[in-house]
Structure 1
């Protein structure tokens, strides 16, 4: 048996984690070499009481080593062979190594348990908002969040780190409580929005053609996930539009080069900003393609829209939908757009109106 194997077996025996086979191996080794039996004194000194302290200070380690050395010297005072004394002297360092290994292992084990408990104590809330609904939240720091239909949002029970991190799939309107020491970060699949205290809207549905960040008050920094070195700063009444290609085959090579753009919002009253109209349960659209408006209708009314005539998808429409029912809303759009519709349960079928 090598010295390293002997130390390993002693450490496992002391830590009560040795298997029956390992204990038998250690016993057999000690029986074959009687001179090594004196090292049982070392093992006894290392074990001490069964109830080990939760933590061992350096001075306690030194005291244990001194006690081990005294026992070794005492057991060898009457030894006839000086070679055995030198042998036991070498094993004083072996004992020291075993003790350090054991104490270090115990501390690491305890710290591991503490870390696991710490992780277990982090409670993450995840909110799923169904179609046809919106939901208001107040976060632990006082930040107000409004979630649009079809959104998923997650946040911790408490913001204990140096940042306030939340995750969003869908659309959310944020009024962030100011805290210069703890930036507020909204993580989406395509980008991260970093703020200190401001009012903004993030639209990040997986199936939409674009991901949008609209700033109303304050200042935000946006970092693209695929280009983290690029920092985009938005000022009030600016909107960042990031391409979110659903089908790469449908995008022309020239179009694919445009990764993002920053645009200014129209100079309108606050309640006429179409990007945040949904907060008041409205849909405001100006010269938008029917396909994009249909996606908003699906979320607002909890329906599925099916285009039986694909040419209708690119029709440009304008209007405002407020408190109208689904039938009334479709009737309003029908007045300016040549199409007809039929509703079957939760499915709306759109087709071209015959002349």
Structure 2
């Protein structure tokens, strides 16, 4: 039986209550509950400080302007100082800019729940915020890089026979070799699996898309297509090969590619070589959390070449404007993002 760690069944405060405590929006009952929780175990103050640091680091400029997470983080530090526990504050500075805190917090809470629940399998879910890329270690030491908005779920303790994870979005894996326990990535509602023993590869499988791309950097992987729980095909990739699986037709095509173009995103770079504009816009959409509205269909017939490292979206759009005569307008978000992830819209037109 699998149980998501985000569901809390004890009296301990969950992540929502802790965030309310940090931002001073908690009720009197919730505040007392968190204070009691902190007094029970001084290690928990470190978790609280890490959460405050994450809250500060992951907010966008718009959120900082309206909600001032830095002030919330400072207030938490002052509250801990009043308790004369300065040691943990110093520790918090070390993680203030580290997005890995998301994983640490999830793992800590999963550990507490597992002691209460017993033998139930705890599932950890890590999501990269829109416009942000992150990486972290899985329980076996495998390193996973997540692209903007991507989600990876994995058990806190692997099954003895396999190391299975589930991905939605895009990820790059550096898998620790273990011939006795294959590493398996399930995507597209388990309609495709990538099975490896130890290797490096990039995998892209976004929700509501019918295409899954697997690019092998080194080692080897097996691409398994699945129908109604049964494996219907098994294809082995070689280094520098990319497999494209069409979910609708069930077909798999393989091509030799320059893997750097598919994996540069994890280093903050975008690389395009004679790429059709629709594919360029799709990459930019995922990388910067924006939506494109193409007003002139002729733009979709263009192709684009360029390499960008740690550039603002506007800088790339300016390059498009100069090289391809494409004018653009960025339509800013006008609604509050508290109800979910919002996207800016970029309107593209042919220059007249």
TM-score range, shorter chain: 0.5 to 0.7
Asked whether the equivalents of residues 226 and 232 of structure 2 are also in contact (C-alpha less than 8 Å), the reply is no
> Counterparts in 2 of 1:173-322, with a 5 A limit?
173-189=172-188, 190-208=191-209, 210-226=211-227, 228-244=231-247, 259-266=251-258, 273-322=260-309
1:353 counterpart residue number: 351
* Structure 1 unaligned regions, length at least 5: 1-115, 246-255
TM-score normalised according to structure 1 size: 0.59
DSSP 3-state at the match of 1:180: coil
DSSP 3-state at the match of 1:123: strand
Measure the CA separation in 2 of the matches of 1:181 and 1:277: 31
Label 1:278 to 1:191 Cα distance change in 2 as closer, same or farther (>3 A): same
Larger Rg: 1
Asked whether the equivalents of residues 281 and 300 of structure 1 are also in contact (C-alpha less than 8 Å), the reply is no
Label 1:168 to 1:215 Cα distance change in 2 as closer, same or farther (>3 A): same
> Counterparts in 2 of 1:71-82, with a 5 A limit?
none
DSSP 3-state at the match of 2:323: coil
Asked whether the equivalents of residues 131 and 298 of structure 1 are also in contact (C-alpha less than 8 Å), the reply is no
User: How big is each residue's C-alpha offset from its partner over 1:90-132, in whole Å with a ceiling of 9 and x where there is no partner?
Assistant: xxxxxxxxxxxxxxxxxxxxxxxxxx96653x11011122221
> Counterparts in 2 of 1:37-52, with a 5 A limit?
none
Do structure 1's residue 325 and structure 2's residue 312 form an aligned pair? yes
2:140 counterpart residue number: 141
1:252 counterpart residue number: none
> Counterparts in 2 of 1:333-352, with a 5 A limit?
333-345=320-332, 346-352=344-350
User: How big is each residue's C-alpha offset from its partner over 1:305-343, in whole Å with a ceiling of 9 and x where there is no partner?
Assistant: 211223323322111122221211101122221310011
TM-score normalised according to structure 2 size: 0.59
DSSP 3-state at the match of 2:324: coil
Higher helix share: 1
DSSP 3-state at the match of 2:274: strand
Alpha-carbon offset, residue 173 of structure 1: 0.4
Asked whether the equivalents of residues 289 and 317 of structure 1 are also in contact (C-alpha less than 8 Å), the reply is yes
Give the total of aligned pairs: 222
Label 1:336 to 1:207 Cα distance change in 2 as closer, same or farther (>3 A): farther
DSSP 3-state at the match of 1:336: helix
Cα-Cα RMSD? 2.0
Measure the CA separation in 1 of the matches of 2:302 and 2:208: 19
Runs of 4+ displaced beyond 3 Å = 116-119
Asked whether the equivalents of residues 200 and 216 of structure 1 are also in contact (C-alpha less than 8 Å), the reply is yes
Label 1:263 to 1:167 Cα distance change in 2 as closer, same or farther (>3 A): same
Asked whether the equivalents of residues 294 and 305 of structure 1 are also in contact (C-alpha less than 8 Å), the reply is yes
Measure the CA separation in 2 of the matches of 1:193 and 1:295: 23
2:51 counterpart residue number: none
Asked whether the equivalents of residues 199 and 217 of structure 1 are also in contact (C-alpha less than 8 Å), the reply is yes
Measure the CA separation in 2 of the matches of 1:339 and 1:161: 54
Measure the CA separation in 1 of the matches of 2:247 and 2:297: 21
Measure the CA separation in 1 of the matches of 2:244 and 2:119: 36
Asked whether the equivalents of residues 148 and 288 of structure 2 are also in contact (C-alpha less than 8 Å), the reply is no
* Structure 2 unaligned regions, length at least 5: 1-115, 333-343
User: How big is each residue's C-alpha offset from its partner over 1:252-284, in whole Å with a ceiling of 9 and x where there is no partner?
Assistant: xxxx5x811111124xxx7xx101010111111
DSSP 3-state at the match of 1:200: strand
Asked whether the equivalents of residues 226 and 233 of structure 2 are also in contact (C-alpha less than 8 Å), the reply is no
Alpha-carbon offset, residue 288 of structure 1: 1.6
Asked whether the equivalents of residues 139 and 145 of structure 1 are also in contact (C-alpha less than 8 Å), the reply is yes
